[in-house]
Amino acid sequence: MDPMSSAYAVPSPYDQQVPSTSSPSCAMARPNTPQTPYGRSAFGSAHASPFRPANAADAVRLRETCAARNAQTAQWMDSQYLAGVSGYHGNGVQSGPCSVMSAASGGGMSMMSGMSQMSLGNMSQLSICTQLTEAHYTQNAAYQTTSGASSVENIDPSNIFEINRQVNTLIMSLRHEDPEIRRKAANSVQSMARQRLLAMVSNHATLRELICHFLQFVLEHTIEQNITQLMQSIFNILNCRTCFVVMQDRYIQQILVHIIAKYLMPDHPFTAWTVIAFTAILRKKDLRGFRRMCRNEYFVRQLMIILGSTSSSHKSLIIDSIRMLITRNLPLKEFFVRSKGMEKLLEFMSCEHEEKVLRSSATTLLTLISTESAKYGIEFVKLGGVQIFGNLLSHGSTMLLHEVLHCLAGVGDLKEALETQDISNTIVSVLQLMGAHDPILVNHGTAFLLNVSANSIRNKASMVTAQAPDTLLSVLNHRNNYLTIPLANVRQLIASITDNVLICLANLTRNQDECGRAACIQIARKPDSAKTLLNVLASGTVECQNRVLMVIYSTCICVAEYKLFFLDTVDDYNQSNLVTFILRLLWNNFVQY
């Protein structure tokens, strides 16, 4: 057997590495790392101080031993490691420090990174690094980072030198007149992007030139079956931090716009990866120029065509891209709605089961509804959006429920549009969620109930039939439990929920008609309702106090015996009953004036 082809197990970095003389291959493959044995014999080495007494402290011995080891390691690195560049192209042996253990095995490399061991066996450097066959490409060796967390950890300086030299060679090849040379150079760039080697390029100007030439190659490419890999390479380049800094250049962003415009077509093998790359670029906040140049009807139209095709995949990414394009752009919003985009999203909300698609659709619809003009909200209601969203309130996704209830709260005040809609089932579904231990969800839900109860007798009747006063009083009684949730704005949410509930109760009890009397009776019959209202009265703002007094007044007029509960009931803050609180309130107002 050829000794050069024999493989060996890569040792652990914590094992002692001693020179092996069993075979020439092992002697050449393993670095002759100096090792200082542990034990008492080390203290008698030639590096120990001759003036140290025999009974010296252990700490002194330890310092001398460490100094001896450091000197030996430095001597070894000076003689072997720093002279490893010449051997890189000669016999395939690459010298390196202990943290990067490499061995020559048929011209390949064997490397251990972290806890994983990977042996490349007899693979040639050519097959690892690039598909090129020219001599000036085959000289470039492959490089793999030793850690996924940092691409510059424990890097051999010779590798960085080789990568920078390879980049300069690729730039010249991408400029070449021969299309075959340009194609092979592009393949090499793809390989480097896939292996994250572009992060090692030290000169940003050189990296910018390489990316420009590569993107120009992608733009001018005509072989359809290669477009998918090229779009994947753009995605890999985009996710490299070093490359992303370079891609903020305006000229590069212009090339990217032309590439996306060319390949954003439905029913092609590369369509999915084009959408992935497009969405990834739009999500980069620093690429504002790209987003601004893409905000026109062409890109929205193409995305809608792809979204409507039978073979469409990555629907959530397409919808997210549409949302990012139409946000704060009234002409594009108008174009999207005019092109039946809202109908398509509501269709997804009715038929799709994938949570990502549902969330993306709901968020995009919220972007339309949140416009200052109410016409998009009216269109949403006319298309049955309130009923469709109401059917989704039994979904188990908290994030989806937040978006759905936010949309419902945004259209709840459209009185004229809702007059022709039966939303009783949606009201019942919202009330069933008000016991959730989620202040964001409850805040949006109470806002919807507040809006729909403002001016609609039919909606008030639906709420009273569904025991809304009882549910809303329970929300008030347990609102302080939200303080245990780690949210920065939890107190603001509690204040908003309190306002929404009190206004809603005031709307339900304001008129002494059949609906109003039924609401007052439910409040009077609920145990501890007087205690709950007194606690809000004692701890709330002036606006809250006014609303609580309105609810108490309306209930006492409708149910005369309800006022008796306030004589013996005191709040938990001041231990005062309603009469004492009102007298104190009157006195404070008198003193102020």
Nearest to 423 by CA among 387, 456, 381: 387
Domain boundary among 126, 143, 158: 126
Query: What tokens were used for 122?
Result: 């007899």
Residue 222, pLDDT above cutoff 80: yes
- Find the domain containing 113 and state its range: 3-126
Find the mean pLDDT for residues 396-413.
94
Q: What is the CATH number of the domain that holds 230?
A: 1.25.10
CA dihedral 337, 339, 345, 350 (to 10 degrees): 110
**In the structure, what pLDDT confidence band is assigned to residue 63 with cuts at 50, 70 and 90?**
low
Distance CA 320, CA 365 (A): 11
In a domain, residue 239? The reply is yes
Q: Between 181 and 511, where is the model more confident?
A: 181
Say if residue 420's pLDDT is above 70: yes
Q: Are 419 and 456 in contact (CB under 8 A)?
A: yes
Dump the DSSP string for 256-316: HHHHHHHH--SSSTTHHHHHHHHHHHHH-TT-HHHHHHH-SHHHHHHHHHHHHSTT---HH
- Same domain membership, residue 180 and residue 103: no
Pair (166, 288) in one structural domain: yes
pLDDT category at 418 given cuts 50, 70, 90 is very high
Q: Are 359 and 403 in contact (CB under 8 A)?
A: yes
Question: What is the residue whose two structure tokens read 């109860």?
Answer: 453
Tell me how crowded residue 435 is: count the other CB atoms within 10 A of its CB.
12
- Decide if pLDDT at 4 tops 60: no
Q: What are the tokens at 114?
A: 């972290």
Query: How is residue 244 written in tokens?
Result: 């992303």
Kindly tell me the number of DSSP H helices and DSSP E strands found in the chain: 32, 3
Of residues 95 and 569, more confidently modeled: 569
Asked if residue 448 is part of any domain, the answer here is: no
Please report whether residue 94 resides in a domain.
yes
Residue that the structure tokens 């716009």 belong to: 257
Question: Model confidence over 37-47: pLDDT tens digits?
Answer: 444 444 444 44
Among residues 265, 294, 323, the one where a domain terminates is 294
% of residues, the chain, pLDDT over 90: 55
Cβ distance 375 to 338 under 8 Å? Answer: no
Distance CA 290, CA 238 (A): 13
In a domain, 188, yes or no: yes
34 shares a domain with 48: yes
For residue 282, being part of any structural domain is answered with yes
**Residue 35 has what pLDDT?**
45
Share above pLDDT 70 across residues of the chain, in percent, rounded to a whole number:
71
CB 323: neighbour CB atoms within 10 A?
20
Q: What is residue 311's predicted lDDT score, i.e. its pLDDT?
A: 66
Q: What is the mean pLDDT of residues 142-150?
A: 40
Residue where the block lists tokens 């909606």? 459
Q: Which of 61-65, 107-111, 347-351 has the lowest mean pLDDT?
A: 107-111
Domain end (from 294, 321, 337): 294
H/E segment holding residue 117 = strand 116-119
d(CA 112, CA 144): 10
Q: Are residues 216 and 83 in the same domain?
A: no
The confidence score (pLDDT) of residue 381 equals: 96
- Looking at the structure, do residues 106 and 149 belong to the same domain, yes or no? no
Residue-averaged pLDDT of the chain:
79
Taking the C-alpha atoms of residue 142 and residue 133, their distance in angstroms, rounded to an integer, is: 15
Q: Is residue 272 part of a domain?
A: yes
Question: pLDDT tens-digit profile of 543-581?
Answer: 888 899 999 999 989 998 888 888 777 777 777 777 777
pTM of the predicted structure, to 2 decimals: 0.71
| 199 closest CA partner among 230, 155, 252, 255 | 155
Q: Rounded to an integer, what distance in angstroms lies between the CA atom of residue 139 and that of residue 56?
A: 55
Which ranges of 540-592 does DSSP label H, i.e. alpha helix?
542-558, 565-568, 578-592
Give me the number of domains the chain comprises.
2
Residue corresponding to tokens 């809702």: 418
Model confidence over 471-496: pLDDT tens digits?
A: 999 999 999 999 999 999 999 999 99
- Which residues does 417 contact at the CB level (< 8 Å), separation at least 6? 377, 378, 381, 382, 411
Query: Same domain, yes or no, for 230 and 187?
Result: yes
pLDDT tops 50 at residue 321: yes
Q: How confident is the model at residue 64 (pLDDT cuts 50, 70, 90)?
A: low
Q: Are residues 85 and 185 in the same domain?
A: no
Neighbours of 283 (CB within 10 A): 14
pLDDT of residue 130: 34
- Judge whether 28 lies within some domain: yes
102, part of any domain: yes
Q: What is the mean pLDDT of residues 64-83?
A: 55
Question: Is 345's pLDDT higher than 90?
Answer: yes
Identify whether the C-beta of residue 472 lies closer than 8 Å to the C-beta of residue 522. no
Residue 213, pLDDT > 80, answer yes
Overall average pLDDT of the 401-416 stretch: 95
Q: Comparing C-alpha atoms, which of 478, 470, 390 is closest to residue 438?
A: 478
Q: What is the mean pLDDT of residues 211-219?
A: 96
278 pLDDT above the threshold of 70: yes
Residue type, 254: Q
- The reported pLDDT for the residue numbered 202 is 85
Q: Is the separation of the CB atoms in 584 and 576 below 8 Å?
A: yes
Report whether pLDDT(147) > 60: no
Shared domain check, 229 and 208: yes
Helix (H) or strand (E) holding 482: none
Q: Per residue in 9-27, pLDDT tens?
A: 333 333 444 444 444 444 4
Q: Are residues 76 and 217 in the same domain?
A: no
State whether 173 and 149 are in the same domain: yes
Residues 282 and 141 in one domain: yes
Task: Give the side-chain half-sphere CA count within 13 A for 121.
Answer: 3
Output the pLDDT for position 62: 56
Same domain (yes/no): 7, 89 = yes
